[in-house]
Structure 1
Amino acid sequence: MRIKILFVLLIITSVCKAQYSFSGYTNPEEWDKSVYLSIVEDYRKMNGVYVEQIIAKTTADDSGFFEFDGNMLDNENRIYRIHVDKCSVNQQSINHFNGHCNDSEALLFIAKNTDTLKLPFSFGNQVFCKVKSNNPKANAFLKIDSLKNEMRFAYSEFRSEANRKLNNKKWFHTLQNFGATLNEPIAELYIYAYLSDRSSDLHNYYVEDLKHNNYYDQLKTRLEERYPNASYTKQYLNELESDRYMLSAYHGAKTSHWSILLYSILGVSICINLFFVYRLWKRNTSKIDELKAKLSKQEQVVLEHLLLDKTNKDIAESLFLSVSTVKTHTHNIYKKLNVQSRNDAKSLFTK
Structure 2
Amino acid sequence: MRILSVVLLFFFGLAQGTSQYIFSGEISQTAQNKTVYLSLVENYRKSSRVYGNQILKETQSNANGSFKFEGNNLSEQNRIYRIHIDGCEEHTKGGSHFFKNCTDTQSVLFIAKKGDRIVFPLLDNDQPLCEVNSNNKNADLLLEIDYLKEQMILDFMEYNSKANELLTFQKWFKIFQAYGEESEEPLAELYIYDFLSDRASETHPYYVVDAKTNLYYAQLAERLENQYPNTTFTEQYLNELAADQLLKSNENPKSDSKILMYVVYGVLAIMLLQAVFFSIKFIRTKKRTKTPEKLTNQEQNIFNSICEGKTNKEIASELFISVSTVKTHINNIYKKLNVKSREEIKNM
Same fold flag (TM > 0.5): yes
Whole-angstrom distance in 2 between the partners of 1:35 and 1:28 = 15
Q: Residue 221 of structure 1 aligns with which residue?
A: 222
Residue 137 of structure 1 is matched in structure 2 by: 138
Counterpart of 1:101 in structure 2 is 101
> Judging changes above 3 Å, is the alpha-carbon distance between structure 1 residues 31 and 229 closer, same or farther for their aligned structure 2 residues?
farther
The 1:15/1:123 distance shift into structure 2, 3 A limit, reads closer
Change (3 A) 1:162 1:102: farther
CA change 1:91–1:152 in 2 (3 A) is: same
Shift of 1:177: 1.2
Aligned partner letter, 2:124: F
TM-superposed CA distance for 1:29, in Å, is: 4.7
Could you say which residue in structure 2 is the equivalent of 1:53?
Answer: 54
Question: Helix, strand or coil for the counterpart of 1:124?
Answer: coil
Q: Does the Cα contact within 8 Å between 1:168 and 1:201 map onto a contact in 2?
A: no
The Cα shift of 1:85 comes to: 3.3
Aligned 1:221-300 pairs, distance under 5 A: 221-256=222-257
How big is the shift at 1:160?
2.5
Whether contact under 8 Å (1:32, 1:86) holds in the other structure is no
Superimposed CA distance per residue, residues 230-268 of structure 1 (whole angstroms, 9 cap, x where no aligned partner): 2111111011001111121123334445999xxxxxxxx
Contact map agreement 1:172 1:202 (CA 8 A) in 2: no
Indicate the SS of the match to 1:130.
coil
Distance change in 2, residues 1:122/1:16 (3 Å): closer
3-state secondary structure, aligned to 2:153? helix
The change in CA–CA distance for 1:31 and 1:45 in structure 2 (over 3 A counts) is farther
Q: Which amino acid aligns with 1:127?
A: P
Identity %: 43
Residue pairs, 1:16-27, within 5 angstroms: 18-27=19-28
Measured in 1, the distance between the counterparts of 2:32 and 2:152 equals 29
Once the two structures are TM-superposed, the CA of residue 156 in structure 1 deviates from its matched residue by 1.7
Structure 2, unpaired ranges of 5+: 1-14, 262-348
Check 1:212–1:165 CA distance in 2 against 1; reply closer, same or farther (3 A cut): closer
Offset, 1:109: 0.7
Name 2:191's counterpart in structure 1: 190
Q: How far, CA to CA, are the matches of 1:31 and 1:190 in structure 2?
A: 33
Mapped to 1, the partners of 2:231 and 2:124 lie a distance apart of 36
Provide the residue aligned with 1:166 in structure 2: 167
For 1:159, the aligned partner's letter is N
Q: Could you tell me whether the CA contact under 8 Å between 2:32 and 2:63 is conserved in 1?
A: no
Q: Which residue number in structure 2 is paired with residue 328 of structure 1?
A: none
Contact 1:120-1:131 within 8 A present in 2 as well: yes
Matches within 5 A, 1:144-155: 144-155=145-156
The secondary structure found in structure 1 opposite 2:125 is: helix
The question of whether the paired residues in 1 share the 8 Å contact of 2:32 and 2:65 is answered with no
The CA deviation at 1:24 is: 0.2
**Aligned equivalents of 1:151, 1:259: Cα separation in 2:** 40
- The residue type equivalent to 1:245 in the other structure is L
CA 1:69 to 1:176, structure 2 compared with 1: closer, same or farther past 3 Å?
same
- Cα distance in 2 for residues equivalent to 1:162 and 1:259: 31
CA RMSD, 1 decimal: 2.4
The question of whether the paired residues in 2 share the 8 Å contact of 1:49 and 1:101 is answered with no
Are 1:128 and 2:129 an aligned pair?
yes
Conserved 8 A contact 2:33-2:65: no
After TM superposition, give the deviation of residue 131 of structure 1 in Å.
1.1
Residue 74 of structure 1 corresponds to which residue in structure 2?
75
What letter is aligned with 1:101?
N
Q: Which moved more, 1:81-90 or 1:166-175?
A: 81-90
Give the direction of change, closer, same or farther, for the CA distance of 1:126–1:245 in structure 2 (3 Å limit): same
- Going from structure 1 to structure 2, the CA distance change for 1:74 and 1:212 (only over 3 Å counts) comes to same
Question: In structure 2, do the counterparts of structure 1 residues 196 and 102 end up closer, same or farther at CA, with 3 Å as the change threshold?
Answer: farther
Give the AA of the match of 1:207: V
Gaps of 5+ in 1: 1-13, 261-351
Q: Is the 8 A contact 1:26 1:64 kept in 2?
A: yes
Q: Distance in 2 between matches of 1:100 and 1:25?
A: 20
Inter-partner Cα distance in structure 1 for 2:82 and 2:230: 21
Amino acid in the other structure paired with 1:240: L
Q: Aligned with 1:56: secondary structure? A: strand
How far, CA to CA, are the matches of 2:31 and 2:252 in structure 1?
53
- The number of residues matched between the two structures is 247
SS of alignment partner, residue 118 of structure 2? strand
Matches within 5 A, 1:10-49: 18-27=19-28, 29=30, 33-49=34-50
With 31-40 and 208-217 compared, the bigger mean Cα shift is at 31-40
1:141 shift after superposition? 0.5
Cα distance, 1:16–1:120 mapped onto 2, change above 3 Å: closer
Say which SS state the counterpart of residue 117 (structure 1) adopts.
strand
Task: Indicate if the aligned counterparts of 1:220 and 1:237 stay in contact, CA closer than 8 A.
Answer: yes
Equivalent residue letter for 1:144? I
CA, structure 1 residues 94+135, in 2 after alignment: closer, same or farther (shift >3 Å)?
closer
Contact 2:37 2:86 (C-alpha < 8 Å) held by counterparts: no
TM-score by length of 2: 0.66
